[in-house]
Amino acid sequence: MTGPKMSERLAPGLYIVATPIGNLSDLSPHAADILSKADLIAVEDSRVTAKLLAHIGVKRPMKPYHDHSTDRVRTDLLAQMADKAVALVSDAGTPLISDPGYKLVRDARAAGREVHTVAGPCAAVAALTLAGLPTDRFLFLGFLPSKAGARASAIAEVAAIRATLILYESGPRLAAALAALRDGLGDREAAVVREISKKFEETVTGTLTGLAQRYADAPPKGEIVIVVGPPGEPEAAGEDEVDAALAEAMTRLSPSRAAAEVSEKLGLPRREVYERALALK
């Protein structure tokens, strides 16, 4: 199916519309067209969306929507989509990404409504383009839990994943989050990306330790994305480390068994470790 065209009237259904995350010029002509023609716009905060609509010189009916809205609100929106074009926006960026909308899309699909998306700004992807960290595999974690225990568990869950991590964070919690990431992931390369597409846009790169120190006594203002690089390749064990491990293992085991144990522990080829074990014997 092709996407919606810029015709006079919109076909009924649900339109997910991405909006700017700072610079209003980032509102695409397609997004402006859909918003100006929508029969109804489901919004997070009508004051925020009213400003955006004023920017493009239109007024449209708005209705507050959150994923925790009552079933009645969602059912009403789904009913309206049968013969009306209902747009969904959040305060900034792409709806559904750490923002309401997932349940509405799920239920719209289940009810057989047409669902369209008008792609546009998303702070997570914008930050990834600024960070200078690998982009081939990335994992979006949204906001970490604010309580220390739950935050540490959430970080531990992803520590082994070989991907760049993207997180949303607020200024006052930034330093604690960076320190918790360092404790749970090791001291990786990272970037703190702030106020994307706004006057005070800034990207600061460094290690998690360095960044945690930098912001410890100076919580930054504005909106923030943390980008953390993937774990490094495990360092190949040095000869001394192999010899020490073999010497210890051979006090308990035959050279062959000691080599098997050490090669597994240090991630080295078994044959090489066995030859070394024989030489040490």
Q: Which spans of this chain sit near ligand SAM (rule: CB under 6 A)? A: 21-22, 90, 92-94, 97-99, 122-124, 168-170, 193-198, 223-225
Nearer to ligand SAM, 99 or 261 (CB): 99
Give the neighbor-by-neighbor strand order of the sheet with 62-64: 62-64, 40-43, 85-88, 13-17, 115-118
Rounded least distance, CB 36 to ligand SAM, Å = 21
Amino acid (1-letter code) at residue 226: I
Rounded least distance, CB 35 to ligand SAM, Å = 16
Is residue 185 within 8 A of residue 164, CB to CB? The reply is: no
Nearer to ligand SAM, 77 or 141 (CB): 141
Rounded least distance, CB 130 to ligand SAM, Å = 10
Is residue 137 within 8 A of residue 164, CB to CB? The reply is: yes
Rounded least distance, CB 121 to ligand SAM, Å = 7
- In 3D, which of 89, 78, 77 has the Cα closest to residue 112? 78
| Residue with the CB atom nearest ligand SAM in the bound state | 93
For 63, other C-beta atoms within 10 Å of its C-beta total 15
Rounded least distance, CB 177 to ligand SAM, Å = 11
Nearer to ligand SAM, 41 or 250 (CB): 41
Nearer to ligand SAM, 187 or 195 (CB): 195
User: For residues 35 and 56, what is the distance between their CA atoms, to the nearest angstrom?
Assistant: 9
**In which element (H, E) is residue 33 found?**
helix 29-37
Q: What are the backbone angles phi and psi of residue 90, rounded to the nearest 5°?
A: -110, 180
Nearer to ligand SAM, 220 or 230 (CB): 220
